[in-house]
Structure 1
């Protein structure tokens, strides 16, 4: 899937989420799982990559019950408050090594 399609799909899902906040008849689950949202953005469009990451983090932390899980091949550009980054590699293919949540 190319980057324009990924960004369009994410924007559509976030729009549905926003509609669900204003119209109770629109029921949207509070969990969004995205596989490879940064695919094909590469180093060529680094600003779009950062805007997409920032948008997803803002959406997940805006006070409306929503959790976002994004699987990426790249590390985040810097630490974000409230974001847990779990690395998976050939030694740790599952989440057994992930830190436990206190809540």
Structure 2
């Protein structure tokens, strides 16, 4: 979408991308596929885009990333340490 917005001024692209569980089931396919996806999201988010199409990426994952990425800020949450203090407890 971002690349299309760069080519066609009629395509409006929001500067925020939120992805829920982008790495779900990728381990069943291949670790390399997951690593490429992480790399693509980091490339998208770290593109300085002098043309105005910079993008912030928020990805919610169930597991920690396979290694540290200097460009990524992780906010770990759990049932005992919640980001949203009043979120209901999961019974699952």
Q: Do they fold alike, i.e. is TM over 0.5? A: yes
Q: Give the TM-score, by structure 2 length.
A: 0.79
Report what 1:94 is aligned to.
83
Mapping of residues 22-101 of structure 1, within 5 Å: 22-42=7-27, 44-64=29-49, 65-94=54-83
Q: Give the TM-score, by structure 1 length.
A: 0.71
Q: CA RMSD in A?
A: 1.6
* Max Rg structure: 2
Output the CA distance in 2 between the equivalents of 1:95 and 1:70.
16
- Runs of 4+ more than 2 Å apart: none
Aligned residue pairs total: 81
Output the CA distance in 2 between the equivalents of 1:45 and 1:37.
14
Whose helix proportion is higher, 1 or 2? 1
Q: Which blocks of at least 5 consecutive residues in structure 2 are unaligned?
A: 86-92
Q: Give the 3-state SS of the residue equivalent to 2:48 in structure 1.
A: coil
Structure showing greater relative contact order (alpha-carbon pairs closer than 8 Å, 6 or more residues apart): 2
Contact 1:88 1:95 in 2 (8 A): no
Output the CA distance in 2 between the equivalents of 1:72 and 1:38.
7
Output the CA distance in 2 between the equivalents of 1:44 and 1:31.
28
